[in-house]
Amino acid sequence: MADNTVSTTTDLDTFEKVDESELSKFTKLSNFEVSAIFLQYAQNNLRDNRVINAGRGNPNWINTLSRAAFAKLVQFGIDESGNTFQRDDGVMAGYIESNGVADRVLNKLSDTDTVDQFIRSSIDYGANKLGFDKDAFVAELLNGVIGNNYPVPSRSLKYTEDILKQYLQKNLFKDADLADETDVFPTEGGTAAMVYLFQELSQSHILKPGDTIAINSPIFTPYLQIPELREYNLKIVKLAATEDENWQMTDEQMDVLKDPRIKAFFDVNPTNPAARAYSPHTLDKFKDVVKENPNLIVVTDDVYGTFADDYQSIYASIPENTLLVYSFSKLYGATGHRLGLIAMDKNNVCDKMIKEETAKDPEIKKEFDERYSMVVTEPEDMKFIDRTVADSRAIGLYHTSGLSTPQQIMMDLFAMNSLISGDVVDDYLVESKKLVNYRYHALWDEIGVNVDNSHGNTKYYTLVNIYDLVEKIHGADFAEYFRNHYSYLSFPYRLAREFGAVVMDASGFGANEGYVRISLANLTSADYRDLAHCMKTLIDEYYLEFRANK
Condensed to tens digits (0 to 9), the pLDDT of residues 235-281 reads 999 999 999 999 999 999 999 999 999 999 999 999 999 999 999 99
Same fold, 12-44+428-549 and 64-148: no
Average pLDDT over residues 42-59: 94
- pLDDT at position 89: 87
- Residue 498: band (very low, low, confident or very high) from pLDDT cuts 50, 70, 90: very high
Domain boundaries, the chain: 12-44+428-549, 64-148, 159-404
Residue 137 vs residues 144, 411, 479: alpha-carbon distances, Å: 10, 15, 63
SS3 176: coil
In angstroms, the Cα distances linking 45 to 14, 50, 488, 498 are 12, 9, 20, 5
Alpha-carbon torsion, ordered 131, 134, 138, 139, to 10 deg: -110
Mark 425-456 as b/e (b = at least 16 C-beta within 10 Å). Answer: ebebbeebbebbbebbbbbbebbeeeeeeeeb
Sign of CA dihedral 197, 393, 162, 63: negative
Reply yes or no on domain 159-404 having CATH 3.40.1160.10.
no
Q: Provide the 3-class DSSP secondary structure of residue 168.
A: helix
Grade residue 124 by pLDDT with cuts at 50, 70 and 90: very high
CATH architecture of 64-148: Orthogonal Bundle (1.10)
Q: Look at residue 35 and tell me whether its pLDDT is greater than 50.
A: yes
pLDDT, tens digit, 9 for 90 and up, residues 300-350: 999 999 999 999 999 999 999 999 999 999 999 999 999 999 999 999 999
Distance between CA atoms of residues 203 and 219, nearest Å = 24
Task: For residues 108-124, give the mean pLDDT.
Answer: 97
CA distances from 160 to 122, 386, 413 (A): 12, 16, 10
57 or 21, which is more confident? 57
Q: What is the mean pLDDT of residues 416-427?
A: 88
CATH code linked to domain 12-44+428-549: 3.90.1150.10
Q: Does 2 have pLDDT greater than 50?
A: no
pLDDT at residue 231 in the model:
94
pLDDT of residue 5: 60
Residue-level pLDDT at 23: 85
Asked if the model's pLDDT at residue 14 lies above 60, the reply is no
pLDDT > 90 fraction of the chain, expressed in percent and rounded: 90
Q: For residue range 189-243, list pLDDT tens digits in order.
A: 999 999 999 999 999 999 999 999 999 999 999 999 999 999 999 999 999 999 9
Tell me the average pLDDT across 475-493: 95
- Asked whether residue 372 carries a pLDDT value surpassing 60, the answer given is yes
More confident residue, 17 or 421: 421
SS3 category, 330: helix
Q: Looking at residue 450, what is its pLDDT?
A: 86
pLDDT at 18 over 90: no
pTM for the whole thing? Answer: 0.94
| Helix 134-146 vs helix 64-82: crossing angle, to nearest 10 | 100
CA atoms of 112 and 135, how far apart (whole Å): 23
Sheet with 461-465: strands ordered across? 461-465, 515-519, 504-505
